[in-house]
Amino acid sequence: MKNNFDVIVVGELNVDIILNQIDSFPEMGKEKLASSMSLTLGSSSAIFASNLSSMGAKVGFIGKTGKDTFADLVLDSLQAKNVDTSMIIQDDSLATGATIVLNFDQDRAMVTHPGAMNYLILSDISPDHLKQGKHLHFASCFLQPGIKPDLANLFKSAKELGLTTSFDPQWDPAEKWDIDIEEILPHVDIFLPNKVEALLLSGEKDIETALDKLARIGNIIVIKLGEKGSILKHGNKVIKATPFLNTNVVDAIGAGDSFNTGFVYKFIQGEDIRVCQTFANLTGALNTTEPGGTAAFTTMANILKIGKERFGYKFED
Ligand SMILES: Nc1ncnc2c1ncn2[C@@H]1O[C@H](COP(=O)(O)OP(=O)(O)OP(=O)(O)O)[C@@H](O)[C@H]1O
Ligand SMILES: [Mg+2]
């Protein structure tokens, strides 16, 4: 059967209201000023989908929004990046959520109202839609309580339909970390947590032990280490990749999602995991050169140019 999409993304959709250059950290009962503001497409899954599509992959999105102005912004932004939005369910009884991002230097504080993303459930994801893709990417399980109990089933059915799979768990705002990795990870080809998420989900105290444990349960395990790059384990092979360090970070919003983009982009082309990981480090670094998660991903030609000129990345194609 013909695949319409290289990658199907199942995930959360919301907008980001980003406040920059805040004069000092917010305090109860007081008002602070931010020198600049932007309203953009938010959510880990949407940033991943947009960037992958900008790089030339064919991407379809399955998710749930309301039928409101935030949903219009989400759909318009995805469509502007050529992401297929026809499988997104719009429910007019629900509100599309938003994240307020307070940016401080390289870090940030965030508050999210999840809205419609709370209500995406397994039966919303039809096998007919899934099988239109070659690869399934899913992110942010703790923001999607409707689908969280069925993650193993989602990845298992994708595998049975012949797709490869990737999973970025993202942060758990409730800090319960209540997913069953023993049940889920066998069906996930690429697991993409950051360092803290890897420690908390594995219940281990150091990265090496966490990596060992996750790799025993799953397949390719890639742990993102912020400005220290990333470490990967597959079978007995461990690869540590130093970053393409950006010492002039604009912000790190979406750096993890952009890292995922680079990894999956090379993976679906059948590249060696070392190539996938190095390219992921590049796309993570690239993300930090512009504000927000998608601005640095214009065209593949531009990514090639910045990768070569600014980060000294050697492209083999
Ligand atoms: N200052 C930097 N210079 C170069 N690369 C960076 C820098 N910061 C992050 N990166 C790249 O981005 C990747 C992802 O960053 P990070 O470890 O912060 O992910 P994350 O915590 O999952 O992010 P997110 O909050 O977007 O989910 C890193 O593995 C690295 O490759
Ligand atoms: Mg992350």
Are 170 and 140 spatial neighbours (Cβ–Cβ below 8 Å)? yes
Q: Is 45 in the pocket of ligand 1 (CB under 6 A)?
A: no
Tokens of 185: 């990870």
Q: Nearest residue CA, atom 30 of ligand 1?
A: 229
Q: Is the confidence at residue 317, as pLDDT, over 70?
A: no
| Strands (DSSP E) found in the chain | 5-10, 14-22, 34-41, 59-62, 64-65, 89-90, 96-104, 107-115, 133-139, 164-168, 190-191, 220-224, 230-234, 237-241
Q: Check the CA dihedral 98-185-59-86 and report its sign.
A: negative
Q: Spell out the CATH class of 5-25+36-309.
A: alpha beta
Question: How much distance in Å is there from the Cα of 224 to the middle of ligand 1?
Answer: 6
Q: Is the CB of 282 under 6 A from ligand 1?
A: no
By percentage, how much of the chain surpasses pLDDT 90? 85
Taking all residues of the chain, what is their mean pLDDT, rounded to a whole number? 94
Give me ligand 2 centre to Cα 195, in Å: 9
Q: Does position 316 have pLDDT exceeding 70, yes or no?
A: no
Question: Is the beta carbon of 281 within 6 A of some atom in ligand 1?
Answer: yes
Q: What angle do CA 246, 250, 253 make, to 5 degrees?
A: 100
The model's pLDDT over 116-144, given as tens digits with 9 standing for 90+, comes to: 999 999 999 999 999 999 999 999 999 99
pLDDT the model gives residue 292: 82
Is the pTM here over 0.85, yes or no?
A: yes
Nearest Cα residue to atom 16 of ligand 1: 226
DSSP letter for 194, please. B
Q: Is 230 in the pocket of ligand 1 (CB under 6 A)?
A: yes
User: Which ligand sits nearest to residue 43's alpha carbon?
Assistant: 1
Query: Would you say residue 108 has pLDDT above 80?
Result: no
Does the beta carbon of 42 sit less than 6 angstroms from any atom of ligand 1? no
Torsion, Cα 53 70 149 45, to 10 degrees, reads 20
Q: Does any ligand 1 atom lie closer than 6 A to the CB of residue 249?
A: yes
257 ligand 1 Cβ < 6 A = yes
Ligand 2 ion local residues (Cβ < 5 A): 194, 256
Protein residue with least CA distance to atom 22, ligand 1: 256
pLDDT of residue 271 exceeding 60: yes
Residue bearing the CA closest to ligand 1, atom 18:
226
Confidence of residue 75 (pLDDT cuts 50, 70, 90): very high
Q: Which of 11, 20, 18 is nearest to 43 (CA)?
A: 11
Ligand 1 pocket member 292 (CB < 6 A): no
> pLDDT class for 249, splitting at 50, 70, 90?
confident
Q: Which residues are CB-contacts of 80 (< 8 A; sequence separation ≥ 6)?
A: none
Does residue 169 line the site of ligand 1, with CB under 6 A? no
Q: Is ligand 1 within 6 A of the CB of residue 140?
A: no
Phi, psi of 38 (to 5 degrees): -145, 155
- Rounded average pLDDT over 89-99: 97
Any ligand 1 atom below 6 A from CB of 260: no
Q: For residue 165, give the 3-state DSSP assignment.
A: strand
- CA 28 to ligand 1 centroid distance, Å: 31
Distance separating alpha carbons of residues 252 and 231, to the nearest angstrom = 19
- Do residues 130 and 159 make contact, with C-beta atoms less than 8 angstroms apart? no
Q: Is the pLDDT of residue 163 over 90?
A: yes
Question: Ligand 1 centre and the CA of 203: distance in Å?
Answer: 22
- In a 3-state reduction of DSSP, which class is residue 75? helix
Poorest-pLDDT segment among 94-98, 219-223, 224-228, 245-249: 245-249
DSSP structural state of residue 189: S
Q: What's the pLDDT score for residue 105?
A: 66
DSSP string, 91-154: -TTS-EEEEEEEEETTEEEEEEEEEGGGG--GGGS-HHHHTTEEEEEEE-GGG-TTTGGGHHHH
Q: Quickly state the pLDDT bin for 233 (edges 50, 70, 90).
A: very high
For residue 142, report the distance from its CA to the centre of ligand 2, in Å.
12
Query: For atom 8 of ligand 1, which residue has the closest CA?
Result: 227
SS3 label, residue 307 = helix
- Radius of gyration, CA atoms only, the chain: 18
